[in-house]
Amino acid sequence: MRISQSLISNVLRQSADRAAQAVFKARQPVLEGTSLPTPSTDMAKAGRANLLDLFDRELARHDASRINLRSDLDMTELSLQGIGDVLVNAQDLALQLASDNVTDQARRDAASNAQGLLDQIVDIANRPDARGRYQFTGLNEGQPPLAADLAYQGNDGERIVEVAPGVSVASTLSGRDVFGPNNELINSLRDLVSAVKGGDSAAVRATLTGIESSRVRVSSTLQQVGRRMSTLDDLGDLTLSLRTSVQIEQGNLARVDIAQVAPAIQSAQTMLEAVLTTSQSILAQMGKSWFG
């Protein structure tokens, strides 16, 4: 190959350009603070990063839904426990007043206690949550489950909420699971109040079955709520571990690994210095050969 001055200057310029570009490229992740500033930097990594970001957002959304639902279930559990406690008290009261040793007058005197228990249940059931929604109403959560005449005015609708990838749970509870298909819980307490007011021990005794089956129903519903809560807790553990993995992978994708970048920068800088030194040396030798 014939060595012309244009060839030498071309080669020196091209080498210097390449070396300078290599230095810029090696330093870029440090300047940008990420090794993945744009999709064109690495299409596959960028696609993965976008999907991970979407997945992370989805998990965050599920976390929020789960936390809200868990809080709702906490309140439901408390309410059901409250209703259960009242039913136990009602059962105790009924057992006491069903005894033939209790006088009719004493039974009549206990009527206010029985009415108080019914009122407590209505009070617990018709209590709205912090967001103004009523429990035990199915989807009709804008109004209390028990009307003024204590008739059930909710429905059996279920609201499905996604709480983990591909996992949806019902976030509502129908009042029929608490009060019975035909409002048996309220009816049995009403019967108790009437029987107590009437001082009728046989009638009081007759309410025991209804109260007991209501208590069993409430207990069973409480277990159902407990299972939902347990599912949510399990899913919480699972999504926490998923989110951690996602965040680690996100970090790995975009993280600037100084241990990896530093040698690359060093090597590019050394290359640039070598090119510049060689260029100077070649130019000096050419000058010497021409002009002595």
Binding site for another protein (CB under 8 A): 1-7, 9-11, 14, 34, 36-40, 43, 46-47, 49-50, 53-54, 57-58, 60-61, 64-65, 68-69, 131-133, 137-142, 154-155, 157, 159-162, 171-172, 254, 286, 289-290
Q: Which residues contact 24 (CB under 8 A, 6 or more apart)?
A: none
91 or 137, CB closer to another protein? 137
What is the end-to-end Cα distance of the chain in Å, rounded? Answer: 25
Asked if 117 contacts 89 with a C-beta cutoff of 8 angstroms, the reply is yes
The residue (of 159 and 227) whose beta carbon lies closer to another protein is 159
**Closer by beta carbon to another protein, 112 or else 133:** 133
Q: What is the 3-state secondary structure (H, E, C) of 47-59?
A: HHHHHHHHHHHHH
Q: Output 165 or 181, the one with its CB closest to another protein.
A: 165
How far is C-alpha 107 from the geometric centre of its chain's CA atoms?
51
Exposure string of 160-187, with b = 16+ CB inside 10 Å and e = fewer, is ebebbeebebebbbbbbbbbbeebbbbb
Residues 117 and 98: their CA atoms lie apart, in Å, by 17
Smallest gap from Cβ 193 to another protein, in A, equals 30
Q: Which is nearer to another protein, 157 or 181 (CB)?
A: 157
Q: How far is the CB of 262 from another protein (least distance, A)?
A: 24
Q: How far is the CB of 102 from another protein (least distance, A)?
A: 44
Q: How far is the CB of 180 from another protein (least distance, A)?
A: 20
The CA-atom distances, in angstroms, between 270 and each of 16, 17, 19, 23 are: 12, 14, 9, 9
What minimum distance in Å lies between the beta carbon of 92 and another protein?
A: 35
